[in-house]
Amino acid sequence: MTRAAATNRRDFLRGHGLRQAVSEHVGIAAAPPLAPEQSAAWIVTVERRAMACRFQVLLPAAMVDAPAAGAAALDEINRLEAQLTVYCDDSELSRVNQAAGVIPVAIEGRLFALLEEALRLSVETGGAFDIAVGALVKAWGFFRGPKRVPGRAELAAVMERVGSRHVVLDPLARTVHFRRPGLELNLGAIGKGYALDRAAELLRREWRMPSGILHGGRSSVLAIGSPPAETAGTGWLVALQHPFDASRQVARLRLRDLALGTSGATVQYFEADGRRFGHILDPRSGWPAAGQVCVSVVAATAAQADALSTAFFISGPDQARAYCARHPEVGAVLVALPRPGAELELTVLGAAQGLVEALVSESEA
């Protein structure tokens, strides 16, 4: 995550008709269609750059406090970025990385809870999701560059400083300690989702927002209730963009009080010696993951959806299927390209089966 430049929130307040807002910015399809007599300004959209992407909060225009509520939600995201970023030496997470290999470091309660959840998810996914990968991210040049393939000896040495098994949390003292000096935490695979969860919590608690949808860079989405003009209350219709053609969709899902996280390596990658290396690194092997084109996960929280989409992208369909079988509240859409030039194949797992409207060939599990 990167720190955004200071901005005036009024620069980012503007109203949209629902159809315009969702088609231009979030990839959410409006359903049912707008009736002619309905206002063209159902939704107030508040947006701001944070965590190296554009965050948007879409709220009902009928709520008089919607612009202020949206700005407050983005303020919360900015505050969390300042706490969680590894691109600023004085953030709380950077201070942990600097000192926890030497002494236990006391941290803020909500951050401690996030680390507890991250370590739990690491165990549940067999290490496919892991936040103790900072040294690995740097070795491949995905921190500040240059991107490169590390040598075998270098990678072996780096892997000695990777893995949540080396992270010790003390709930009573609320401290974190690393068993291996040089180990570093990186919350890039869970931080955006966590920020959306906290922003939505603020909207519900302090602003009593009954409806809304938030997203960070389109890859992390959290839905509150249903669209304000949607009488059936079935939820927001969220589109999954085609990984190779931005003008197309591969599927649409109905989300009501649910989150969606998507992981893929079609944008962030580099090429070396005729091979493509994506930015999603397998913490078990130290190498970029390969397999699916992209993975989307539906879960109760955006943090969980983000973390599991990364884990399923790394571990593959068999482990994703097994996880969803053990956790029926979780669902996934796996998008694969069986061979060059072939049609994309979709596999829909778990809870996503009742939410997905597929637009391309699909293999349901």
* 361 pLDDT tier (thresholds 50, 70, 90): low
Residue 2: pLDDT over 80: no
Beta partners for residue 47, in sequence order: 56
CA distance 331 to 323: 9
Q: What is the mean pLDDT of the chain?
A: 87
Residue 20: pLDDT over 50: no
Mean pLDDT of 228-249: 84
Q: What is the pLDDT of residues 45-103, one digit of tens each?
A: 999 999 999 999 999 999 999 999 999 999 999 999 999 999 999 999 999 999 999 99
Exposed e or buried b per residue across 111-130, where buried means at least 16 C-beta atoms within 10 angstroms of its C-beta: bbebbebbbebbebbebbbb
* 234 pLDDT tier (thresholds 50, 70, 90): confident
CA distance 312 to 114: 20
CA distance 359 to 248: 9
Mean pLDDT of 166-193: 98
Whole-number pLDDT of residue 290: 85
CA-based R_g, the chain, Å: 20
Whole-number pLDDT of residue 337: 86
* 292 pLDDT tier (thresholds 50, 70, 90): confident
> Is beta strand 362-364 parallel, antiparallel or unpaired with respect to 356-358?
unpaired
Share of residues in the chain with pLDDT > 70 (%): 87
Q: What is the pLDDT of residues 29-58, one digit of tens each?
A: 333 332 333 334 578 999 999 999 999 999
